[in-house]
Structure 1
């Protein structure tokens, strides 16, 4: 599992301190906001130190050397705040020790404790904070304030330390929460992109299956008619012309189907479906007539009273099942009669069965991928139905599907 600094760069100490970025020398680089915050805190610490220094020398009894030493050490403590972002533990510890003997450094010490709580996790904060709590009663003992009792000074010191530490940890927790929310948002976007890619892949797989169903039907017609012309070179000119016309029409339709599919692959969702209506249950008769014109003996028993009322998806699925079954019959049982039965209605569902007996003559098998029936099973399952297929006792083959038709 990646470390915090790798997975969540915003949780780095420099980031939690004030959104700093590495400078040219490798150290933290302050932003305009950081400069404004640092200058404000420096002035606050200096003002606090000046106020404490004025209180110390209020009655003029403090030796001049002590006042000068207090002034210099207080100025050094305020200047140390400029490096608190890089070394928060060291600055906090040093200023805590210094504030024991130097009340002028107390303001800088409180600011350093706040930065420490923002920059670092709980353990170093707890160590330095405990040191500051221990120093709270020691400082008024060594440098008592004549206007304030020892107990009051100790309580105020402890409360101030706890206040700034608590405030700093709340700020750190809030920033960590923001980091977590940003990471969750990033992961949600990544997951959404992944789902979109998966949906696109599934759509392309569906297009590939559609390509197999459509082109296999067209190309099988080409193969059948070309084979007839090859084995009957002495056929009458009228029959040759009719077969050539079917070959030409099938090739033209296959080319149109291929162009449409390629267009969808180039621009998903922008295919021009209006120029070529999708097949429905009504167009099943045209499919049967097309197969008959190719020389197949096909019998259609369609008992659906109003095929136009069938749902578009169900009708399209029935059409594709019949198309693929007829294509398989031409491939694996040429010359055998094929029976197509369609029955059902609203509320009862639709049932389609395509069957053929065993071929009566030897033939050269037309090559195929063997994926057509798998694609039909998936198509029927996606439509909410089921499909079964298999050989018959007489050596033939049957494809039977049942699809829903809501009432």
Structure 2
């Protein structure tokens, strides 16, 4: 396992299905990616707004021409002002606030500019926060009575004209605020989706890292036991070339058997790495029922092991607890074989449902010189983590009489 974890890469944010300059104002990241250029959609929307302003302006121009309260010269001036107002609609994206403010006196002076004023108010509500909409919209609504006082409608009473004008202003502003709120909601939903994807990617990466750590611990626990046998017996053959033939044959057999088992265990770990399934290799995971086999293998390798098992039915122990206890015993026997060869190792197992499972491994101090066997001390650290993950605890140390003592307690639910 490497000490440096890979840095999670942020997921790319999805662009809008129909990119718009409004997205640039509501989403700063969108503005940085696309700049402030108008898209094809923006041009189409702007052209539609211009046509709408022109059509409404033409209706207003006809109404002014037929209004007996308006002189012919003023009707021509009204149309000129309306044409200029319609042309100003193309500036609505760049200066929405300025255009809306300018349209207030223009709409009072010209009925033909009514369409441009409506578009300006709608753009203001879409592009700017509520405080701008409230002030400018309120001024526009307050100017409606002045408009109909200067040019009374020939077909509607004064009061109804004012009510209609105020209602139209309110409806346009409400529609614009609805469009803005909807776009903000879409941005919020998109951001939530991106955050959810990022969190899912982080969880997947964390799960992968935890799986790698578990596989690394399993590889250490499994292969260390086999390779220690190889190291000890190969070292014995190296330092005792004049050993009796029977002892050499027995050591060679242990080396061959340990090599075969190590290869099988390595295939099992590789199968987990490839398939992601612990049972893909076909070999069952050892539990507490396999403790007798582990002790027999250690005795066949020349160790003196005393097993004192007080658990009446090892098969009744939960699989996860039994597997953890087996790995702890395996690592403890491996360490005893490496650091205290020739000593008698005592393994005591006891427990019951509701009380927990206790595993104790003890060996005295070795006599004479002990061959130096390399070790990093990571095995005991891994056992402590394994016991903690199972909800138990593990302690180890040197007792007053010497040697080494390891004891673990694992929960056993009733």
1:157: how far off? Answer: 3.1
User: Match for 1:312 among 306, 313, 319?
Assistant: 319
- Shift of residue 118, structure 1, vs aligned partner: 0.3
- Say if 2:272 and 2:278, in contact at 8 Å, map to a contact too: yes
Q: Which secondary structure state, in structure 2, belongs to the residue aligned with residue 103 of structure 1?
A: coil
Q: Which segments of 5 or more consecutive residues in structure 2 lack a partner in the other structure?
A: 1-12
SS of aligned partner of 1:57:
helix
Q: Does structure 2 retain, via aligned residues, the 8 Å contact 1:304–1:344?
A: yes
SS at match of 1:28: coil
Taking the TM superposition and a 5 Å limit, the aligned residue runs for 1:312-331 are 312-331=319-338
When normalised by structure 1's length, the TM-score is 0.87
Question: SS of the residue aligned with 1:359?
Answer: coil
Change (3 A) 1:144 1:8: farther
- CA deviations 1:261-304 (Å, max 9, x no partner) are 34433x35156634222111111111101111111100111122
Q: 2:50 matched to 1:50? A: no
> Which residue of the other structure, out of 198, 209, 212, is the alignment partner of 2:206?
198
Kept after mapping to 1: 8 A contact 2:67/2:153: no
Answer whether contact 1:225 1:247 (CA < 8 A) is retained: yes
Other structure's SS at 2:178 match: helix
Equivalent residue, structure 2, for 1:351: 358
Change (3 A) 1:376 1:25: closer
Whether 1:291 and 2:301 are equivalent positions in the alignment is: no
Q: Which residue of 1 aligns with 2:148?
A: 140
Q: CA deviation at 1:45?
A: 3.4
Superposition deviation, residue 332 in structure 1: 1.7
Is structure 2 residue 218 aligned with structure 1 residue 218? no
Query: Are 1:351 and 1:401, in contact at CA under 8 Å, matched by a contact in 2?
Result: yes
Correspondence 1:302 to 2:309: yes
- Take 1:152 and 1:125, find their aligned partners in 2: how far apart are those partners? 24
| 1:264 counterpart = 2:249 | no
The reply to whether residue 373 of structure 1 matches residue 380 of structure 2 is: yes
Shift of 1:148: 4.3
Which residue does 2:403 correspond to in 1? 396
Find the residue that maps to 2:285 and give its secondary structure.
coil
Q: Given the alignment, which residue of 324, 342, 352 partners 1:335? A: 342
Q: Is the 8 A contact 2:24 2:31 kept in 1?
A: no
Whether contact under 8 Å (1:21, 1:30) holds in the other structure is no
Give the secondary-structure state (helix, strand or coil) at the position aligned to 1:275: coil
| TM-score computed with the length of structure 2 as normaliser | 0.85
RMSD: 3.1
Distance verdict in 2 for CA 1:25–1:67, change over 3 Å: farther
Partner SS for 1:186: helix
Compute the displacement of 1:116 (Å). Answer: 0.9
Task: Label 1:395 to 1:284 Cα distance change in 2 as closer, same or farther (>3 A).
Answer: same
Cα gap change, 1:154 to 1:76, in 2 (>3 Å): same
Greater mean alpha carbon deviation, residues 183-192 or residues 273-282: 273-282
55-64 or 119-128, which deviates more: 55-64
1:156-167 maps to which residues of 2 (within 5 A)?
Answer: 156-167=164-175
Partners of 2:347 and 2:271 in 1: CA distance: 33
Q: Matches of 1:246 and 1:282 in 2, distance apart?
A: 23
TM-superposed deviation, 1:58? 2.3
Which residue is equivalent to 2:117?
Answer: 109
Task: Find 1:80's aligned residue among 88, 106, 121.
Answer: 88
Contact kept, 8 Å, 2:268 with 2:281, in 1: the verdict is no
Q: Is the 8 A contact 1:45 1:108 kept in 2?
A: yes
> In 2, Cα distance between the equivalents of 1:128 and 1:12?
25
**Structure 1 residues 89 and 30, CA, compared in 2 at 3 Å: closer, same or farther?**
farther
In 1, Cα distance between the equivalents of 2:321 and 2:97? 72
Hey, what does 1:30 align to over in structure 2?
Answer: 40
- 8 Å Cα contact 1:213/1:323 also seen in 2: yes
Residue 238, structure 1, aligned to residue 246, structure 2? yes
The answer (yes or no) to whether the contact 2:271–2:281 under 8 Å persists in 1 is no
CA contact 1:278–1:316 (8 Å) conserved in 2? yes
Farther off after superposition, 342-351 or 379-388: 342-351
**CA distance 1:358–1:194, change in 2 (3 Å):** same
CA contact (8 A) 1:221 1:247 kept: yes
Report the CA distance shift for 1:18/1:147 in structure 2 as closer, same or farther (over 3 A).
Answer: farther
Q: 1:341 to 1:18 in 2, by over 3 A?
A: closer
Report the Cα offset of residue 366 of structure 1: 1.3
Q: Secondary structure, in 3 states, of the residue corresponding to 1:355?
A: strand
Unaligned runs of 5+ in 1: 1-6
- Distance change (3 Å), C-alpha of 1:66 and 1:26: same
